[in-house]
Amino acid sequence: MTRTRWARFRSWVNATRRRSQMESEMDAELRFHMETYSDELIRSGVPREEAVRRAALEFGGAEKIKEECRDARGADLLESFLQDVHYGVRTLRKAPTFATIAILTLALGIGATTAMFSIVNAVLLRPLAYRQPDKLYVIREGIAEMAQFYPSFPANLNGFLRWQSQCHSFEQIAIVEPLEKILTGAGESQEIHGGRGSANLFEVLGAQPQLGRTFLADEDRPGSDHVVILTDSFWRDRFHADPSLIGRSITLDGEADVVVGILPPTFRFPKAAQLGPLTDFGSQLDFFKPLGLDPAKFSLLGEFDYAAIGRLKPGVSPQQALAELNIIQAQIAKDAKENIDLHAELWPLETQVVGPARRGLLLLLSGVAAMLLIVCANLASLLLARIPNRLRESAIRTALGASRSRLVRQMLTESILLSLLGGSLGIGLAYLSLHQLVRWGPADLPRLDEVRLDARVLGFAFLLSTMTAIVFGALPAWRVTRTEPHDALKSGAITATENRRTRRLRESLIGFEVAACTLLLIVAGLLTVSFVRLLAVDKGFSAERTLTVDVTLPRQSYPKAAQEQTFYDSVLREVQRLPGVSHAGWINKLPFQGQEEVNSIQASGRVTDALHAPLANFRFITPDYFQAAGIPLRQGRFTAESDAQRHVALISQSLADKVWPGENPVGKQFHQGGDDRPLTEVIGVVGDIRSVALDQPPLLMVYAQSGDVANDWSGWHASLVVRSTSEPLALASALRGAVRSVDSTVPIVHLRQMTEVVTESVSIRRFQMSLVALFAVLALALAAIGTYGVLAYSVEQRRPELGLRRALGAQVSDLRWMILRQGMAPVAIGLLCGVAASLVAGSLIRSLLFGVTASDPLTIASVAVVVLAIALLACYLPARRSMSVDPMVALRYE
Amino acid sequence: MNKALDLLQGTLDMLILKAVSLGPLHGYGVLLRIQQISKDRLEIQQGSLYPALYRLEHQGWITSEWGESENNRKAKFYRLTAAGKRRLQAESQKWNQMTDVIAGILGTKPEEV
């Protein structure tokens, strides 16, 4: 440290540490100066009193000089900050109502924004717990000829093997497919969900186990695959986090598998939708096993069942990788002797994971930010209202030697104090509401379970509080310091002129508030209309009074499809005997649970290229399924007992229209898959249903009989749909009993009402809609309070003027109209701006809307009516108060 | 020229350093010394001296000590430090160069251009 720097530091330390001592020394020094000077004047013959006066005058303003000395000494920052804080606390304590309102609204705004940000932080900002997640790509395959039905497929095994050996753009490629197992042994038998992947899966993801190891290279060969890796949550729930499990065996589907590793708690696997359609991973994974498949048993162009994830080599662009993959794809098509355009697709994994949620979350974050801005505008407006008082005070301070920058700093300190208090309260609020949000949030919002208040969120809250303070504090501070002290000190003069200026500012703030809350209300309205339209959409089935029971059959007890069928039939017999059951039927997959069993349809006798044949989702049902689910029969008949030995099916209306346009499809026959497969006869046509999601058009469907040997279906999963004659939940325990009486080892995965299945499929929309609506209503309330406050205050300030007007003969109704007009003018301007902004914002949220356009006139008109009505009320109350002004009292007021 | 000159912006620091370089002085003494050297041709607002003194001390160019004044009162005396001495030299040099240049410019006659 150089000499000067050391001196500076020492002087700063002294200044800070011995503040009072320095202060008294400074006083002594200045006093010495003045006294010595006045002594000298006295000696030269000036009378004592005159000498003292002249000494003080020639010295200059002592307080101002002291202030400058303090500044020069460098202790200024900390010291004056403490002074400002002290002063701020005192000011706020003198205005407890103002302080309370300010802190509470700030807590609301900052709390809501912080809570929203912590969700955005968890879902969008925190990277996947993989090594360099931006290098990870999902590889999918596409066949141009089938693009109209299915734009892309998951990968197939042989394609993967070729990519692995021939494609040099990737460090490695891994594949994984979903797998369910029944865990038996210790405790109750349980269906567990997991994946079966190539041995390098964890290497590609860059995930390390917390215990044990990942798979060895040769463990994905058939025979050597009796090992399993468990996820942390499953290990905790089922095995109480017992570390000695490593090396021990657990029984999956009756076979012993050695536990070789436990994944860390941070490990997450992408969900089905994130790996692309037709990939079917559950939301909660319990285990991973090696692939253990013999490629020789797989065809070159079939079984597109695997999610493929590749890690790009450093410096290789996805375009290069894609070009290389496509060369290999072309060769595969040639080798398979198929004249098709087989190509590959690369989807960045990270975008896949958070992509669909991004827009909705950013919308919520903008919504809450708009609300916070309204809070700021309200506070700025409140602070402006206090300006006339502050002006006199600041004028006195200026006259006493406070610099303008010091005044601004002092006022900003006050705002920062307010918003830090509000912010701390807001963090508490965010903490409490987060629990609710996470519990109430949609299960399929990615990584919602990882939401917490971490350092980043707290930092955000702090920054937000400070910025909020600057936003709402700067305007009033600027106003105050723009005033000449001598103007302010002339009492009375300020009220008129200052009021006109600040009133204009406050009116612009009102306009802004109204615009922001109009925008929020319109967006909330559009989302609500979308949601209502979505729920009102013709699902094609009826969800009321219907219960569903999802079961999984243990594979080892039901190795053959016929045995499964016996189980289904027996349960059905038990259920049909129950009182209150009108119809009951099995299906292998309920609506909204994704696509499954997708196969091509070839009308018999018609030569169609297999690749151009329409693809339909196959479902396997028992005869009463349609009545139970409320799907109407359009033509033909339902299946009957007598069909048991025949290959018959019902098809959906749109499939009938596609394959046999203008013909009666009943009695027609088709092949499922290639024409080497047995023919199935169409016996009936049923209505289309929305089978993927409410907002997606119906898929082509084929309903075959469960147990039909022509359709090699054995899924071990099925759902029983039961239509009840009364309250469906009353049947719940009887249904459980019926399943248990047939086989008590069969786990019931879910038992819920069909309406729940429907609402779960729209839970993300409900989440968005409810939150935006909440923000919009809060914004409306804040804006109404703001408008009321501004107008009420202005009426109060204008009492003398109003009194004068009345004394001069103005009618009560004229005055009321004048006040209303002045109050509503900024509201009207704000409303117009809000509507215009919503038209612009509309294009950003188009993907979140359903059945309504962003410029929906009805929504906009309703919002305008609501805003105008609330604003009228907020303006009418002060206007009415102005009528109670007695001219004499008002004139005497000042 | 009877009327006292207002001090040029930024020159007060230099004058204080010079005054103190001639021997330790208290604040009032600095004022007197400057007026004495300048033969009362400079007008310094008395109070403005102190922020400058505090600034110079904070920068380490002068240092202060409480002592006894000529009229037997406690007063704070300022003294030049080594760094202050170097600073004064540098400042005076700069000032002299500057006045030379300015004087040269102002003294230029039309035929010299």
Radius of gyration of chain B (CA): 17
The whole-angstrom separation of Cα A414 and Cα A95 is 12
Q: Among A336-340, A411-415, A639-643, where is mean pLDDT lowest?
A: A336-340
DSSP B54-109: HHHHHTTSEEEEEEE-TTS-EEEEEEE-HHHHHHHHHHHHHHHHHHHHHHHHHT--
- From B51, B58, B73, residue closest to A8, measured CB to CB: B58
pLDDT of residue A20 exceeding 80, the answer is: no
- Mark yes or no for CB contact B54/A58 under 8 Å: no
Residues of B in contact with A72 (CB under 8 A): 51-52, 54-55, 58
ipTM associated with this complex: 0.87
- Residue B78, beta-bridge partner list: B25, B64
pLDDT tens-digit map of A575-633: 988 888 999 999 988 888 777 777 778 887 776 666 667 888 888 888 889 999 999 99
Candidates A602, A660, A614; CA nearest to A635 is A660
pLDDT band at A571 (very low <50, low <70, confident <90, very high): very high
pLDDT of residue A99 exceeding 60, the answer is: yes
Name the pTM for this structure.
0.66
pLDDT tens-digit map of A517-541: 999 999 999 988 988 888 888 888 8
Q: Is the CB of residue B69 less than 8 Å from the CB of residue B75?
A: yes
- From A12, A29, A72, residue closest to B51, measured CB to CB: A72
DSSP A64-80: HHHHHHHHHHT-HHHHH
Candidates A173, A171, A166; CA nearest to A328 is A166
Query: What pLDDT, on the 0 to 100 scale, is given for residue A341?
Result: 78
Torsion A159-A162-A164-A167 (CA) sign = negative
CB pairs A-B closer than 8 Å: 89
On whether any CB of chain B is under 8 Å from the CB of A500, the answer is no
Return the percentage of chain A with pLDDT > 70, whole number.
85
Q: Is the CB of residue B83 less than 8 Å from the CB of residue A4?
A: yes
- For residue A64, the distance in angstroms to the closest alpha carbon of chain B comes to 9
- Mark yes or no for CB contact A65/B51 under 8 Å: yes
What type of residue sits at position B9?
Answer: Q
- Residue A250, beta-bridge partner list: A257
Quickly count helices (H) and strands (E) in chain A.
Answer: 26, 22
Q: How many CB atoms lie within 10 A of CB A28?
A: 15
- Mark yes or no for CB contact A61/B47 under 8 Å: yes
- Mark yes or no for CB contact A32/B82 under 8 Å: no
- For residue B3, the distance in angstroms to the closest alpha carbon of chain A comes to 17
pLDDT of residue A109 exceeding 70, the answer is: yes
- Mark yes or no for CB contact A3/B69 under 8 Å: no
The whole-angstrom separation of Cα A243 and Cα A468 is 50
The whole-angstrom separation of Cα A495 and Cα A745 is 84
On whether any CB of chain A is under 8 Å from the CB of B58, the answer is yes
Residues of A in contact with B83 (CB under 8 A): 3-4, 7
pLDDT band at A76 (very low <50, low <70, confident <90, very high): low
On whether any CB of chain B is under 8 Å from the CB of A71, the answer is yes
On whether any CB of chain B is under 8 Å from the CB of A72, the answer is yes
- State how far the alpha carbon of A180 is from the alpha carbons of A252, A327, A557, A789, in Å: 9, 35, 15, 62
- Mark yes or no for CB contact B63/A7 under 8 Å: yes
Q: Is the CB of residue A705 less than 8 Å from the CB of residue A626?
A: no
- Residue A472, beta-bridge partner list: none
On whether any CB of chain B is under 8 Å from the CB of A29, the answer is yes
- For residue A807, the distance in angstroms to the closest alpha carbon of chain B comes to 56
A42 burial type by CB count under 10 A (0-12 exposed, 13-18 middle, 19+ buried)? middle
The whole-angstrom separation of Cα A306 and Cα A286 is 18
Query: What pLDDT, on the 0 to 100 scale, is given for residue A78?
Result: 66
In 3-state terms, what secondary structure has residue A516?
helix
- Mark yes or no for CB contact B46/A4 under 8 Å: no
Residues of A in contact with B74 (CB under 8 A): 28, 32
On whether any CB of chain B is under 8 Å from the CB of A25, the answer is yes
- Mark yes or no for CB contact B61/A4 under 8 Å: yes
The residue behind tokens 């494609």 is: A167
Which tokens belong to A893? 């007021």
- For residue B98, the distance in angstroms to the closest alpha carbon of chain A comes to 26
The whole-angstrom separation of Cα A90 and Cα A740 is 72
pLDDT of residue B92 exceeding 80, the answer is: yes
Residues of A in contact with B61 (CB under 8 A): 4
Radius of gyration of chain A (CA): 38
Beta strands in B5-61 (DSSP E): 5-6, 25-26, 42-43
- From A11, A58, A69, residue closest to B51, measured CB to CB: A69
The whole-angstrom separation of Cα A873 and Cα A221 is 76
The whole-angstrom separation of Cα A202 and Cα A187 is 30
How many Cα atoms are found within 13 Å in the side-chain-facing hemisphere of A417?
Answer: 21
On whether any CB of chain A is under 8 Å from the CB of B95, the answer is no
- Residue A609 is classified by DSSP as -
pLDDT of residue A15 exceeding 90, the answer is: no
- Mark yes or no for CB contact A12/B55 under 8 Å: no
Which tokens belong to A157? 């095994």
- For residue A404, the distance in angstroms to the closest alpha carbon of chain B comes to 18
The whole-angstrom separation of Cα A380 and Cα A506 is 8
On whether any CB of chain A is under 8 Å from the CB of B75, the answer is yes
- Residue A699 is classified by DSSP as P
Which tokens belong to A355? 């992509």
The whole-angstrom separation of Cα B19 and Cα A186 is 95
Q: How many residues comprise chain B?
A: 113
On whether any CB of chain A is under 8 Å from the CB of B33, the answer is no
| Contacts for A269-274: CB closer than 8 Å, 24+ residues apart | A269/A195, A270/A138, A270/A307, A270/A349, A270/A352, A270/A353, A271/A353, A271/A444, A271/A446, A272/A178, A272/A594, A273/A356, A273/A444, A274/A138, A274/A349, A274/A352, A274/A353, A274/A446
- Mark yes or no for CB contact B51/A8 under 8 Å: no
Residues of A in contact with B31 (CB under 8 A): 33
- Mark yes or no for CB contact B69/A29 under 8 Å: no
pLDDT tens-digit map of B1-47: 344 566 666 688 888 999 999 889 998 889 888 888 888 888 788 88
- From A8, A36, A65, residue closest to B50, measured CB to CB: A65
The whole-angstrom separation of Cα A586 and Cα A588 is 7
A69 → chain B, closest CA residue: B51
> Per-residue pLDDT averaged across A171-194, rounded?
82
The whole-angstrom separation of Cα B21 and Cα B86 is 11
A32 → chain B, closest CA residue: B75
State the average pLDDT for chain A: 81
- State how far the alpha carbon of A413 is from the alpha carbons of A16, A397, A464, A646, in Å: 20, 16, 15, 84
- Mark yes or no for CB contact B47/A62 under 8 Å: yes
Which tokens belong to A178? 């979903």
Q: How many CB atoms lie within 10 A of CB A604?
A: 12
Query: What pLDDT, on the 0 to 100 scale, is given for residue A865?
Result: 94
Query: What pLDDT, on the 0 to 100 scale, is given for residue A12?
Result: 65
pLDDT of residue A75 exceeding 60, the answer is: no
pLDDT tens-digit map of A782-840: 888 888 887 887 777 777 777 788 888 888 788 888 888 888 899 999 999 999 999 98
pLDDT tens-digit map of B79-91: 999 989 999 999 8
pLDDT of residue A894 exceeding 50, the answer is: no
**Which phi and psi (to 5°) does residue A850 adopt?**
-145, 120
Candidates A814, A815, A789, A811; CA nearest to A802 is A815
Q: How many CB atoms lie within 10 A of CB A462?
A: 16
On whether any CB of chain A is under 8 Å from the CB of B72, the answer is no
Residues 6+ positions from A854 with CB-CB distance below 8 Å: A526, A838, A839, A841, A842, A843, A845, A846
- From A5, A33, A68, residue closest to B51, measured CB to CB: A68
On whether any CB of chain B is under 8 Å from the CB of A52, the answer is no
In 3-state terms, what secondary structure has residue B81?
coil
A60 → chain B, closest CA residue: B47
- For residue B47, the distance in angstroms to the closest alpha carbon of chain A comes to 5
A853 burial type by CB count under 10 A (0-12 exposed, 13-18 middle, 19+ buried)? exposed
The whole-angstrom separation of Cα A61 and Cα A52 is 14
- Mark yes or no for CB contact B46/A62 under 8 Å: no
